[in-house]
Amino acid sequence: MKDTMQILFGLLGGLAVFIFGMNMMSECLQKAAGEKMKSILALLTKNPVMGVLAGALTTAVLQSSSATTVMAIGFVSAGLMSLPQSISIILGANIGTTMTAQIIAFKISDYIYLFIFAGFAVSYVAKTEKVKNIGQTVFAFGLLFLGIETMGTVMKPLAGSPFFLNMIERVAHIPVLGVLTGTFMTLVVQSSSATIAVLQNFAQQAGADGVTSILGLAGAIPILLGDNVGTTITALLASVGQAKDAKRTALAHCIFNLSGCFLFIWLIQPFAALIRAISPAGPEVAVISRQIANAHTMFNLVMTLIWTPLLPYMVKLVTGLIREGAQAPKAMSEPFYLDNKLVMQPAAALQLAEMETVRCGELANTLLEGLAGSVKAEDVRLTEAVLENTGQVRSLYERVTEYLSELFSSGSMSEEQAHEAAGILYLLGDLDRIVFLCQEILEQFLSQSQKKNKARYSKEARKELEQSLILIRQMYGEAFQMLLNGERDNLKKIRKKKEKMLDLSLHMRKAHLERVEKGKCSVKLTKPFYKILNALDRLSNGCANIADHELTW
């Protein structure tokens, strides 16, 4: 009983160290790669082959097919990627994830502690973030192999256990049982790379003759197929609550792995013979880890070659299974692009935050247009409707700010990415200020129009206010367009309009006092009118601030 508990705890401890090392390596690789991740994501084109390549490269960097799959689902849900693109990404991700098994197959037992020490030393003495991330990646790489070595050590006594050998014999000779075992393992661990690492360690245990594996390649392949089936649960969970295309992407991932499982389960013996032929020769226990890695790679390569030309049919299949239904339009306060599941993939999360910020800027422009319309019409219902929209847009700004705050608190961003996120937050502050000032102007008009025996603004006052709002709308449109294009040519032009707005504001103050003196305007309007003029001055300042922004996207 004591020995059994030691084996169990050793196996769980080794698995924990392995998963921790793998996750740490993935996070550090992302930080080290930095903005290069955007270059990889930029490969996403309508060409399925390029999509497959992008998926493979992204997964090789992230060291996690689940991360790439979640990213693809997030992008397709946000409308940044088409369904065929997202499916091609997932096909490539299945190839990229085999890199982990190939790395594990290398025999570096004698150098594990050297990697751990070297990685720690580099990260400890490094002055720059990039070098520190490289050091931590090497350190995590060593931890990953330490976990594998721990699992391998505690598994050795199992090779002499009659109960264990009997159980392995059943799994090895009943492929369906092997598939179910692999699926269950991945569902529990939520990482196909981890379960394949466990499989490689199990298979390396020698039988009674000390040469052959207790499991054998033919017994390992069904478990490997089950691992690939089990990993699809991550995609399904990521698609919950997402758009139809996101659910279709997750379903395509399931179809890819299930179809591969159904195909290869009938070809286990010839497939095992092929893998032995292309793998290094030697005693089975010495080469089976590489054979499993090669089988994993070959399985995904073959299935990708089969499905890439059939991609249009895959799209039709998943579209037919998940039909388009009527969807209620999202409120202004609801984010269109943000996905909380991507917080640990900062390159992708920042791209979504940028898109949402652009939408925030467009909504601010719509509110300025509505403000001008309500001032011109002096319609209480229109003013109330626009005022309600300002509240919703400000609520959206809060959601984006919270999302970026989560990115900061996750600690997954590099210095460059953190600087970019800070720039977005600063811009959001200016945009929120513009919407707040629109809200303030509308409230002044609404409160004045709702008073009994209200004093109305004169035609001259309304005309001057309309001219001011037209000028501000022009300033905002030019400033926001300049921000998006990254051009600085119109900066002087916007500053001149700001000066013109200040002159116009001064003129309006004097003109109002003249109208009060002549009895054309009520003295009671002076305070609300001056509040509106102050808000207009601050709006022109806000437009100039937006023009001064220099974003990196």
Residue in this structure with the two tokens 């505690």, named with its chain if needed: 154
- The rounded distance, in Å, linking the Cα atoms of 126 and 542 is 41
Residue in this structure with the two tokens 């799209």, named with its chain if needed: 315
Residues facing 206 on adjacent strands? 213
Please, what is the angle between helix 217-230 and helix 268-278, to 10°?
A: 100
- The rounded distance, in Å, linking the Cα atoms of 16 and 19 is 5
Q: What is the pLDDT of residues 190-210, one digit of tens each?
A: 777 778 888 888 888 776 666
pLDDT of amino acid 275:
93
pLDDT of amino acid 404:
92
- In the 8-state DSSP scheme, what is residue 414? -
Distances (CA, A) of 232 to 73, 113, 250, 268, 302: 12, 34, 7, 22, 18
Structure tokens at 249: 């992407």
- The rounded distance, in Å, linking the Cα atoms of 122 and 139 is 9
Type of residue numbered 218:
A
Please, what is the angle between helix 83-96 and helix 65-78, to 10°?
A: 170
Regions of the chain with pLDDT less than 70: 1-3, 32-46, 63, 155-169, 207-210, 325-330, 377-379, 446-456, 488, 550-553
Q: What is the pLDDT of residues 73-128, one digit of tens each?
A: 777 777 777 888 888 888 888 888 888 888 888 877 778 888 899 999 998 888 88
- The rounded distance, in Å, linking the Cα atoms of 99 and 192 is 12
pLDDT of amino acid 38:
59
Structure tokens at 401: 């700010």
Residues facing 152 on adjacent strands? none
pTM value is: 0.77
Q: Which string of DSSP letters, residue by residue, matches 147-194? A: HHHHHHHHHGGGGG-HHHHHHHHHHHH-HHHHHHHHHHHHHHHS-HHH
pLDDT of amino acid 401:
92
Q: Quick one: which of 75, 90, 88, 93 has its CA closest to 46?
A: 88
pLDDT of amino acid 448:
62
3-class DSSP state of 206: strand
Residue in this structure with the two tokens 């991945």, named with its chain if needed: 186
- The rounded distance, in Å, linking the Cα atoms of 306 and 388 is 53
Structure tokens at 520: 């054309």
Residue 206 phi, psi dihedral angles, 5° rounding: -80, 150
- Spatial neighbors of 166 by CB under 8 A, at least 6 apart, are none
Q: What is the dihedral of CA 224, 229, 235, 239, to 10 degrees?
A: -170
- The rounded distance, in Å, linking the Cα atoms of 355 and 337 is 7
